[in-house]
């Protein structure tokens, strides 16, 4: 196969390439004449227009089968996640650490809380109704204006000492900081059969270290008992309840030891909320490290 072994020089290759790019004999550019290029481009344009049209049609059909109020499946959302404010992430999850005597070390934290609670100001909650019933607030129809459903008010003042209204420092300065715990929204999720879900925070007892004689964590929950009132459930989705705000629970830790890092876990206690998924650290509970320096 002698012919195939011929090594072309670089100049030859360049020449061939140039000839390929523009062939003056046949008027071909890149192997096609201009009119051929136009034809093939037209074909591709048409082909892609049709294909995009078909795809758009498919998406349209898909959208038309989707219920705008309720998702078809909630395979991943069996149990709500739990988040914490202020949320400062270190290498391994939430890590909050500040110095009581150093204003600047916690100013950011309180700023986060203030910003977060801005959504719970009476002005922001204006469109929501006051609810007093301690039962689920089922709504079959769309009684609210604009074909929506009512949402219950949750205002910052319900967090009492942790509302930022009484104590704009949220207790950080005195070493008894407030943390706000929020349960994720899931459409039509009912956390329990009758009793309100409640937050329970405690030091995380590591299983391998021998339990030391540590004083149990003292927490001041707000609203009292750390419950999420049942009238905030079920959630009917963004379209039905455009003004819905998650109920919150604030936990004020009263006896956090100073100058040591402690791990605190806040769980949601409710029949249908699980917190033992080994893969998901934020399902039904939130864990964080806290270090208060003095």
Partner 1 sequence: MRQKTLEIYSVELNGTKDIEKTDEGDGKEKKYRGLKNKGPDPKKQHQKEEFKKELDLDDHKLSHKELERKYGTDIVTGLSSSRAAELLVRDGPNALTPPKQTPEIIKFLRQMVGGFSILLWIGAVLCYIAYGILYSNDSSSSLDNVYLGSVLILVVILTGIFAYYQEAKSTNIMSSFSKMIPQQAIVIRDSEKKIIPAEQLVVGDIVEVKGGDQIPADIRVLFSQGCKVDNSCLTGESEPQSRSSEFTHENPLETKNICFYSTTCLEGTVTGMVISTGDRTVIGRIASLALGVGNEKTPIAIEIEHFVHIVAGVAVTIGVIFFIIAVCMQYYIIDAIIFLISIIVANVPEGLLATVTVTLSLTAKRMAKKNCLVKNLEAVETLGSTSIICSDKTGTLTQNRMTVAHLWFDSQIFVADTSEDHSNQAFDQSSQTWASLSKIITLCNRAEFKPGQESVPIMKKVVVGDASETALLKFSEVILGDVMEIRKRNRKVAEIPFNSTNKFQLSIHETEDPSDRRFLMVMKGAPERILEKCSSIMINGQEQPLDAGTAKAFHTAYMELGGLGERVLGFCHLYLPTDKFPETYSFDTDAMNFPTSNLCFVGLLSMIDPPRSTVPDAVTKCRSAGIKVIMVTGDHPITAKAIAKSVGIISANSETVEDIASRLNIAVEQVNKWDAKAAVVTGQELKDMSPEQLDQLLASYPEIVFARTSPQQKLIIVEGCQRQDAVVAVTGDGVNDSPALKKADIGIAMGIAGSDAAKNAADMVLLDDNFASIVTGVEEGRLIFDNLKKTIAYTLTKNIAELCPFLIYIIAGLPLPIGTITLLFIDLGTDIIPSVALAYEKAESDIMNRKPRHKKRDRLVNMPLAVYSYLHIGLMQALGAFLVYFTVYAQQGFLPLALINLRVEWEKDYVNDLEDSYGQEWTRYQRRHLEWAGYTAFFVGILVQQIADLIIRKTRRNSIFQQGLFRNKVIWVGIFSQIVVGLLVCYGLGSVTALSFAVLRAQYWFVAVPHAILIWVYDEGRKLFIRLYPGSWWDKNMYY
Q: Give me the residues that bind partner 1 (CB under 8 A), please.
A: 1-5, 31, 36, 39-40, 44, 47-48, 51, 54-55, 58-59, 62-63, 66, 69-77, 80-83, 87, 89, 91-92, 94, 182, 184-187, 235, 237-239, 241, 244, 277, 279-283
Shortest Å, Cβ 52 to partner 1: 8
Shortest Å, Cβ 184 to partner 1: 4
Neighbours of 137 (CB within 10 A): 19
Shortest Å, Cβ 116 to partner 1: 11
Shortest Å, Cβ 84 to partner 1: 9
Residue 194 to residues 124, 136, 188, 271, 293: CA-CA distances in angstroms? 29, 8, 15, 9, 42
Which residue lies nearer to partner 1 by CB, 5 or 259?
5
The number of residues in the chain equals: 294
Shortest Å, Cβ 99 to partner 1: 23
Please give the structure tokens belonging to residue 21: 């790019």
Residue 283 phi/psi, 5-degree rounding, is: -90, 115
Q: Where are the beta strands (DSSP E) in the chain?
A: 22-23, 28-29, 32-33, 82-85, 89-90, 93-99, 178-183, 198-203, 219-222, 248-253, 261-269, 285-293
Shortest Å, Cβ 157 to partner 1: 23
* Burial class, 235, CB count within 10 angstroms (exposed 0-12 / middle 13-18 / buried 19+): buried
Shortest Å, Cβ 288 to partner 1: 11
Which residue lies nearer to partner 1 by CB, 82 or 217?
82
For 264, the 3-state DSSP assignment is strand
Contacts of 95 (CB under 8 A, 6+ apart): 88, 89, 288, 289, 291
Which residue lies nearer to partner 1 by CB, 164 or 237?
237
Which residue lies nearer to partner 1 by CB, 83 or 105?
83
d(CA 232, CA 129): 11
- Say if residues 118 and 163 touch (Cβ distance below 8 Å): no
Which residue lies nearer to partner 1 by CB, 95 or 200?
95
Of 220, 185, 200, give the one whose Cα is nearest residue 70. 185
Which residue lies nearer to partner 1 by CB, 22 or 43?
43
Which residue lies nearer to partner 1 by CB, 67 or 213?
67
């Amino acid at each position: 196969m002698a012919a195939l072994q011929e090594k072309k020089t670089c100049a030859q290759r360049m020449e061939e390439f140039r000839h390929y790019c523009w062939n003056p004999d046949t008027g071909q550019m890149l192997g096609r004449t201009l009119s051929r290029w136009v034809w093939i481009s037209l074909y591709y344009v048409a082909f892609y227009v049709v294909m995009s049209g078909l795809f758009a049609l498919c998406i349209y059909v898909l959208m038309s089968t989707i219920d705008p109020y309720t998702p078809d499946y909630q395979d991943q959302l069996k149990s709500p996640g739990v988040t914490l404010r202020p949320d400062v992430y270190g290498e391994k999850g939430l890590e909050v650490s500040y110095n009581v005597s150093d204003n600047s070390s916690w100013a950011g934290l309180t700023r986060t809380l203030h910003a977060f609670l801005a959504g719970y100001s009476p002005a922001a909650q204006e469109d929501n109704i006051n609810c007093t019933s301690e039962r689920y607030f089922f709504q079959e129809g769309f009684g609210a204006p604009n074909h929506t459903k009512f949402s219950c008010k949750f205002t910052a003042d319900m967090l009492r000492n942790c509302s930022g209204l009484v104590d704009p420092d949220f207790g950080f300065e005195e070493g008894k900081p407030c943390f706000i715990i929020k349960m994720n929204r899931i459409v039509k999720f009912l956390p329990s059969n009758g009793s309100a879900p409640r937050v329970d925070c405690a030091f995380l007892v590591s299983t391998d270290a021998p339990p030391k004689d540590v004083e149990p964590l003292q927490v001041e929950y707000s609203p009292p008992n750390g419950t999420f009132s049942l009238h905030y459930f079920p959630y009917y989705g963004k379209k039905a309840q455009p003004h819905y705000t998650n109920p919150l629970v604030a936990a004020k830790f009263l006896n956090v030891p100073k100058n040591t890092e402690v791990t605190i876990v806040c769980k949601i206690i409710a029949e249908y909320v699980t917190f033992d998924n080994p893969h998901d650290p934020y399902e039904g509970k939130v864990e964080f490290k806290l270090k208060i320096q003095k």
